[in-house]
Amino acid sequence: MFKRELSVNLAKPTKQQPAGTGPNKAAIEKHIKQIGVVLESSIVKIGIAVCAYVVLDTARQVLVAKASK
């Protein structure tokens, strides 16, 4: 009634990449530089925020100490 065939390919296909499909080193380096700039500016902003917090908290503690006397 039904005729079935089973075909198995045991040969491993060769992997050939066409020229130009590899990673573009110039684009990768540009991307890495952009990430570095963003990280550096973020670190500077966090540092400024921490310094501002310390100064404001110290001023608050001084005001509390003066008010409690």
Per-residue pLDDT tens, the chain, 69 aa: give them.
678 888 888 888 777 766 656 678 888 999 999 999 999 999 999 999 999 999 999 999 999 999 998
Q: What pLDDT does 19 receive?
A: 63
- Length of the chain in terms of residues written: 69
**Domain membership flag for residue 20:** no
**Domain membership flag for residue 50:** yes
**Domain membership flag for residue 36:** no
Q: What pLDDT does 60 receive?
A: 97
Domain containing residue 69? 45-69
Number of domains the chain contains: 1
Q: What pLDDT does 24 receive?
A: 84
**Domain membership flag for residue 55:** yes
Cα 40 from chain centroid (whole Å) = 13
**Domain membership flag for residue 63:** yes
Q: What is the 3-state secondary structure (H, E, C) of the chain?
A: CCCCCCCCCCCCCCCCCCCCCCCCHHHHHHHHHHHHHHHHHHHHHHHHHHHHHHHHHHHHHHHHHHHHC
**Domain membership flag for residue 56:** yes
Q: Is the pTM here over 0.75, yes or no?
A: no
